[in-house]
Structures are given as C-alpha cells and as structure tokens.
Amino acid sequence: MTPLRPNGQPCTRAESCVIACADTWRGAGEIMASPFGTIPSLGARLAKSTFAPDLVLTDGEAALMVGAPPITTGPADVVREAAMPYRSVFDVVWSGRRHIMMMASQIDRSGNQNISAIGDHRHPDVQLIGVRGAPGNSVNHPTSYWVPDHSVRSFVEHVDVVSGVGYARAAAAGAGATRFHDVRRVVSNLGVFDFDTPDRSMRVRSYHPGVSVDEIVRATSFTLSIPDDVQETRAPTAAELQLLRTVLDPGSLRDRDVKR
C-alpha cells in the first residue's frame, strides 16, 4: 500500500528512494558524504537537515557547503565555509572518513560494481564512463550504490568489469583491501539491499511501497538472501516529506530518476 501523508498526498516511489538513501548516512557522524545523482544527493541533504547534522557536504567542485541548500541552487548561490580542493579529497578518502554513494550500471551478489563497460572490456559492446575512482573508494571507506533501473541487466550474476570492489575480491586481495572495505547499502528503484549475511552475499533489506519481494526476485539475475522478517522501506515522516517537497526539491527533479 502506498502510504498517505497528513496532507493527503501519497508518498511517491522516488520519495521512498530518497528516504532509503538518506538512511545510509544515519549515525554516520562527522564524515564527508559524497552522493552521485539526484536521488542520492537529495538523500544526503535530507539526512544533514534532519538526523545527521554533522555530515560534511561539498559543492562538487572545491569547497565545503554551509548547510544543505536546495538541489537546484546554482554555484553562485551556494554558501561555502572552507576550501576543499581536489587534492585534499584524497586525504579524506585514505582516512576512511568518507561515505560515497556511487551509481552502478551493473552490480553482482558479492557487491562488485561496474561503471566501465558492458561486454569484454577489450572490445566492449557499450563503453561507459570508465573505472574512475571506484576501486580506491571501495577499499578505503564505506561505499553505497544507487541503481535507478533494477533489472536482470543491472543486477547480474557477474559484472563484466569490476570497478567497485566487492566482498569476495576484497577478501582475496588481503588485509590491505579489507581494512576499510564496507559496501554499506545498495538502493534501487525497487528496494534496499545489504551484505549482512554469513557469506557476504546480497540480502534484501526492504522493499519499497508498491513493490513485492517476488517482483524484486524476478528482476534479479542471481539468488538473493531474503530474511523471513523483511519489511517495507520506511515511509518519510511528515516533516521529512515537507522538507523534501518544499525546500530541497520543489521542482520535483527526483521524479526524473524514478517515475511515479
């Protein structure tokens, strides 16, 4: 059932996804949150504005932002409190005091992520953005992923190219790769997933309103761990929903990532 808020307007799927992303930073303390994409960015700003006030957000260029401005705020209107040039980001990365939420074109049951290419990487069928900083991010600090189109093409048995490092590969690489390795969450347009299982394989943490566990299973190419007590993704509070709709994203850019 789609939850209704006090104003009578139903919570949309996109808003459930924002809430799920926000909750990945719950209890994080004073760390740098680095969200990629509209839904994760709104999640980080909602978290900072409510239950995670110590989160540090950057302007995506070279400075730390004051507060959590609307997602439509232009660079000229962002209030900055300190410099954060690109070279300084690496000091934060290597310290482990960062939690990034990247996107994933493919992700597998062990948490390996692909944003590089589809097919043989030497002669790919589709060339994507490249490995970028995914390997270093995933072994140095908590990493989560946002997948806006959950399907058998994105949740795959084995990724074509390993960009972000999953649990089995990190374990095989040894202590240098596992010390800070933490694939915290995967949020998709269907549900929320983690790796809190004995073999560190993907588990269904929650399903979004209007989605069934069976639907998630059909859209996944591998076998998921499904707890007996799996529950629906929590609904936003009235205050969270008002903040999201009227302050952080009054233009409803969130609905471009996840259709109503």
Question: Residue 158, CB half-sphere, CA atoms under 13 Å: how many?
Answer: 6
**182-220: burial string, b at 16+ Cβ within 10 Å, e else:** bbbbbbbbbbbbbbeeeebbbbbbbbbbbbeeeebeebb
CB atoms within 10 A of CB 153: 12
Residue 98 lies in a domain: yes
Residue 4 lies in a domain: no
Collapse the DSSP code of 61 into the 3-class scheme (helix H, G, I; strand E, B; otherwise coil) and give the result: coil
Domain that holds residue 180: 13-257
Sign of torsion over alpha carbons 151, 152, 154, 156 = positive
CB atoms within 10 A of CB 124: 14
Measure the CA–CA gap between 102 and 20, rounded to whole angstroms: 14
Q: What CATH number corresponds to the domain at position 18?
A: 3.40.1080.10
Predicted confidence pLDDT, tens digits, the chain (260 residues): 455 444 456 899 999 999 999 999 999 999 999 999 999 999 999 999 999 999 999 877 777 888 888 888 776 678 888 887 777 887 888 888 899 999 999 999 999 999 999 999 889 999 999 898 899 999 999 999 999 999 999 999 999 999 999 999 999 999 989 988 999 999 999 999 999 999 999 999 999 999 999 999 999 999 999 999 999 999 999 999 999 999 999 999 999 998 66
Instruction: Report phi then psi at 14, rounded to 5.
Output: -60, -40
Residue 165 lies in a domain: yes
Residue 1 lies in a domain: no
Model confidence pTM above 0.75: yes
| Inter-CA distances, 228 with 58, 192, 223, Å | 40, 15, 15
Residue 8 lies in a domain: no
Residue 107 lies in a domain: yes
Residue 43 lies in a domain: yes
Overall number of domains in the chain: 1
Collapse the DSSP code of 33 into the 3-class scheme (helix H, G, I; strand E, B; otherwise coil) and give the result: strand
